[in-house]
């Protein structure tokens, strides 16, 4: 299943918190021309390096499908960033 929502929480040094929700599907639809060019570029790279195109694209889809549930926490000093993919 493709990720649906990206949540970014930022705790700033002054104590204020910012929370941003980014729906994935509208972003992918807007960036679809770039996604198509990226897939074509990856297919050409696979052909140049003699890697199976179908297997490489399948592996890429598996990685994208495994993203829901991923949490990335970064803390530097008094600033913290939490990224959650649902």
* The pLDDT value given to residue 37: 97
Where do the domains of the chain lie?
5-85
CA 83 to chain CA centroid, Å, is: 10
Give pLDDT tens digits for 4-59. 999 999 999 998 999 999 999 999 999 999 999 999 999 999 999 999 999 999 99
What DSSP element (H or E) covers 72?
Answer: strand 71-76
Identify the residue whose tokens are 């040094």: 13
Give the pTM: 0.74
Cβ contacts of residue 60 below 8 Å, gap of 6+?
42
Q: Round to whole Å and give the CA distance between 25 and 64.
A: 13
Q: Is the pLDDT of residue 1 over 90?
A: no
- C-alpha 50/C-alpha 47 separation (Å) is 5
């Amino acid at each position: 299943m493709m990720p649906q929502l990206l949540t970014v929480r930022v705790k700033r040094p002054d104590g204020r918190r910012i929370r941003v929700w980014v729906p994935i599907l509208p972003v992918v639809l807007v960036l679809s021309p770039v996604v198509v060019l990226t897939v074509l570029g990856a297919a050409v790279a696979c052909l140049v390096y003699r890697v199976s195109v179908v297997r490489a694209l399948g592996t890429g889809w598996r990685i994208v499908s495994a993203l829901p549930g991923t949490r990335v926490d970064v803390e530097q000093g008094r600033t913290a960033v939490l990224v959650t993919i649902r």
